[in-house]
Amino acid sequence: MINIVGRFSELGQNKTTILLRLIEDERIVKCLVNNLLNFLDTPISSNFDITSLIYSQIFPYRFVPQIQTEPKTFITMKFNYKPNGDTYKYGSIVFYLFTHNSLLTTDYGSLRYDLLLNYIDESFNSTRGLGFGKLSFYDMDDILINENFSGIYIAYKLLEKQ
């Protein structure tokens, strides 16, 4: 195994931790997998491999899908770091949540990506355990991907001691 040492040696591990935290939340998985208005009330098939969502609908980098034959919902991310003195890094994690326009409405009185935003915020805001300091919410806004996909982003600040 290669031992990587440097300012960003934990970046890959932190991305993996985030991916796993996302697929461990059943509500997030249901939002991505069940293309129904009542996606939360519909069980996930017992033989569904939740890890298959990684690099198919959840990406640890910015990604915009090509034209899809099947409408889907996606989570992508952006990681941004800047120096903050000699012993700390300042940065942010941005989650981009977008869905095919045909999947926007739900039976729950909210848009699909708004519900997904809430589940992600519950999982990440003010949490630790990612190798960073505590994550804290700092920005959110709507995004338009293209004529077929709409969404929202949510950003968290982080501070890490080197």
Burial bucket for residue 86 (CB in 10 Å: 0-12, 13-18, 19+):
exposed
Q: Which residues lie closer than 8 Å to 65 by C-beta, 6 or more apart?
A: 72, 74, 149
Q: Which residue has the tokens 């999982």?
A: 123
pLDDT digits (tens, 9 = 90+) for 12-21: 777 888 999 9
55, two tokens: 């690099």
pLDDT digits (tens, 9 = 90+) for 49-108: 999 999 999 999 988 767 666 899 999 999 887 776 665 566 788 999 999 999 999 999
For domain 11-38+49-161, the CATH class is: alpha beta
Tell me if 50 sits within 8 A of 34, measured CB to CB. no
